[in-house]
């Protein structure tokens, strides 16, 4: 039995390492293929083979959007496979060498929670970077309008000159405008994806200017300055609430980390928590208090402005 578990864990670990190396080396291989002059048909065939390999995996629309927004260089199907391997490979390896159910369950829960948390953090960072880039994008857009470009031409210059994520998002807007979509709907789609109130403000200003008239470059300068002031206030608020946020994370993570550490060092010491009714009740009460404290601290440091 242990040999079967060990072999299965080894196969899962090999698959996980293979996927990770493929993701890390994909960009380098793409550049190398371009330098070597490999034709486009071969690249298209390889991409179709990769899609057929994961065709049996169903991915929700929300997960596809999160993977796309996060900037992670992998397909949603690859993320699901990697998530599955992270969940089951470490517990199986641990069970093959040390059949401790508590430790295996702890590793399984960690593997279950870590990948989506990392994906959420990466998505939040991309959205925060989008908000930071938006002020500069409006300045470039305003300068393009002053230089005599139309709004669509200035927007296309912004999408080509600025880096992701704002360059790629504005590129989507440019493509939709070329396909006949109106400005309001094209911008609102991006605003909903990035959860950007500032971009909604920009959309309203552009729509009003197109209907009423006015100097759009001056309007964009005003919005750009407003966005910069908002970002300055947001940085000040984050600085003032940094101690509370870090305290909440440390206080929340400390009991869980201590429980895992003691279960590895002295399993018999924590076994009554899982084997007796009183121990299970204490775990449930402790988990409830952890969640309550986390929510209270989150509400305290979440300042609306």
Give the residue, 93 or 138, on which the prediction is more confident: 138
Where does the pLDDT of residue 15 fall: very low under 50, low under 70, confident under 90, or very high at 90 and above?
A: low
Residue 22 above 70 pLDDT? Answer: no
Residue 4 above 60 pLDDT? Answer: no
Residue 293 above 50 pLDDT? Answer: yes
Helix, coil or strand: residue 159: helix
Residue 45's pLDDT is 45
The answer to whether position 117 is within a domain reads no
With a threshold of 0.95, does the pTM exceed it? no
Residue 58 above 80 pLDDT? Answer: no
Buried b (16+ CB within 10 A) or exposed e, 239-265: eeeeeeeeebeeeeeeeeeebbeebee
Burial level of 279, CB count in 10 A (0-12/13-18/19+)?
A: middle
The answer to whether position 283 is within a domain reads yes
Which of residues 232, 259, 291 is at a domain's end?
232
The answer to whether position 282 is within a domain reads yes
Residue 57's pLDDT is 67
The 10s digit of each residue's pLDDT in 241-270 is 888 788 878 877 888 888 888 888 888 888
Burial level of 296, CB count in 10 A (0-12/13-18/19+)?
A: exposed
In contact, 231 and 135? CB cutoff 8 Å = yes
- 208 in the same domain as 267: no
Residue 49's pLDDT is 47
The answer to whether position 116 is within a domain reads no
Cα gap 213→243, rounded to integer Å: 48
The answer to whether position 250 is within a domain reads yes
- 275 in the same domain as 246: yes
The answer to whether position 272 is within a domain reads yes
Residue 42's pLDDT is 42
Residue 46's pLDDT is 46
The 10s digit of each residue's pLDDT in 35-52 is 444 444 444 444 444 555
The 10s digit of each residue's pLDDT in 70-126 is 877 778 888 888 888 888 888 888 777 777 777 788 788 888 888 888 888 888 889
In contact, 264 and 107? CB cutoff 8 Å = no
* Residue whose tokens read 């018999």: 268
Provide the residue range defining the domain that includes 261: 242-301
Residue 29 above 50 pLDDT? Answer: no
- 221 in the same domain as 167: yes
Across 15-24, 93-102, 222-231, 249-258, least confident range: 15-24
Cα gap 76→116, rounded to integer Å: 12
Where does the pLDDT of residue 56 fall: very low under 50, low under 70, confident under 90, or very high at 90 and above?
A: low
Count of domains forming the chain = 3
In contact, 122 and 38? CB cutoff 8 Å = no
In contact, 76 and 240? CB cutoff 8 Å = no
Residue 178's pLDDT is 87
Q: Is the preceding peptide bond at 128 cis, omega within 30 degrees of 0?
A: no
Residue 18's pLDDT is 55
Phi, psi of 162 (to 5 degrees): -90, 150
- 247 in the same domain as 212: no
CATH number of the domain that residue 196 is part of = 1.20.81.30
Query: Which of 27, 20, 25 lies closest to 86, judged by CA?
Result: 20
The answer to whether position 89 is within a domain reads yes
The 10s digit of each residue's pLDDT in 173-221 is 999 888 888 888 989 988 888 888 888 888 888 888 888 877 888 888 8
The answer to whether position 112 is within a domain reads no
């Amino acid at each position: 039995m242990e040999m079967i578990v060990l072999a299965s864990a080894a196969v899962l670990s090999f698959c996980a390492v293979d996927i990770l190396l493929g993701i890390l080396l994909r960009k380098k291989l793409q550049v190398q293929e371009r330098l070597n002059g490999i034709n486009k048909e071969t690249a298209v065939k390889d991409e179709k083979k990769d899609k057929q390999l994961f065709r049996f995996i169903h991915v929700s629309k929300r997960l596809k959007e999160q993977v796309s927004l996060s900037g992670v260089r992998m397909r949603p199907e690859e993320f699901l496979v990697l998530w599955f391997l992270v969940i089951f490979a470490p517990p199986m390896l641990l069970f093959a060498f040390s059949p401790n159910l508590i430790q295996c369950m702890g590793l399984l829960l960690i593997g279950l929670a870590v990948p989506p948390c990392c994906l959420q953090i990466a998505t939040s960072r991309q959205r925060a970077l989008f908000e930071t880039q938006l002020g500069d994008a409006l300045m470039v857009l305003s300068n393009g309008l002053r230089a005599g470009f139309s709004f669509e031409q200035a927007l296309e210059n912004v999408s080509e000159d600025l880096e992701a994520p704002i360059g790629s998002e504005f590129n989507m807007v440019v493509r939709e405008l070329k396909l006949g979509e109106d400005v309001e709907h094209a911008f609102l789609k991006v605003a909903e994806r990035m959860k950007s109130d500032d971009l909604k403000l920009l959309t309203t200003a552009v729509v009003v200017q197109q209907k009423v008239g006015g100097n759009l470059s001056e309007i964009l300068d005003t919005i750009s300055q407003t966005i910069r002031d908002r970002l300055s206030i947001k940085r000040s608020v984050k600085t003032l609430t940094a101690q509370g946020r870090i305290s909440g994370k440390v206080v929340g993570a400390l009991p869980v980390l201590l429980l895992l550490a003691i279960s590895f060092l002295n399993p018999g010491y924590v076994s009554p928590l899982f084997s007796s009714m009183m121990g299970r009740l204490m775990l449930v009460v402790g988990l409830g208090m952890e969640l309550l404290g986390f929510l209270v601290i989150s509400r305290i440091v979440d300042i609306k402005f």
